[in-house]
């Protein structure tokens, strides 16, 4: 099956700064890459996704970039706010990365 690696495992940023999380995948046939945000005690929520025919996608303060040649994709959060603090998961096919705990310091 698909192997997804996610880095870093924890990320602490000052409010207003940017946060970047990177994932790599193994199956070159994968063509859909979602990112999920999970708050404590809740299920994951889709925040942005990208398909293999697109290199970058942006939605307000959140963007995702995809490099199919290198088989990696990244989540970018700009102008971070305290409510961005959560665990973020990337996924490819039905496999999830290990998650990144993001803490935004006020």
Is the Cα torsion angle 1, 58, 70, 51 positive or negative in sign? positive
Verify binding: residue 31, another protein, rule CB under 8 A.
no
CA–centroid distance for 10 within its chain: 13
CB nearer to another protein: pick between 19 and 89: 89
45, HSE (Cβ side, Cα atoms, 13 Å): 9
Q: Which helix (H) or strand (E) holds 38?
A: strand 32-38
Verify binding: residue 35, another protein, rule CB under 8 A.
no
Q: Which of 49, 52, 71, 103 binds another protein (CB under 8 A)?
A: 49
Verify binding: residue 99, another protein, rule CB under 8 A.
yes
Smallest separation, CB 40 to another protein (Å) = 10
Taking CA 33 as the corner, what is the angle to CA 55 and CA 37, rounded to the nearest 5 degrees? 115
User: Is cis: bond before 8, omega within 30 of 0?
Assistant: yes
Verify binding: residue 46, another protein, rule CB under 8 A.
yes
Q: Pick the piece of the chain touching another protein (CB under 8 A) from 20-28, 41-49, 54-62, 65-73.
A: 41-49
Verify binding: residue 96, another protein, rule CB under 8 A.
yes
Interacting residues toward another protein by CB under 8 A: 34, 36, 41-46, 49, 89, 94-99
């Amino acid at each position: 099956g698909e192997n997804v690696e996610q880095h870093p495992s924890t990320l602490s940023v000052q409010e207003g700064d940017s946060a970047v999380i990177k994932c790599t995948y193994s199956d070159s046939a994968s063509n859909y890459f979602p990112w999920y945000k999970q708050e404590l005690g809740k299920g994951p929520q889709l925040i942005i996704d990208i398909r293999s025919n697109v290199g970058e996608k942006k939605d307000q303060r959140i963007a995702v970039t995809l490099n199919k040649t290198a088989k990696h994709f990244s989540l970018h959060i700009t102008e971070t706010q305290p409510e961005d603090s959560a665990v973020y998961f990337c996924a490819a096919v039905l496999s999830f990365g290990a998650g990144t705990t993001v803490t935004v310091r006020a």
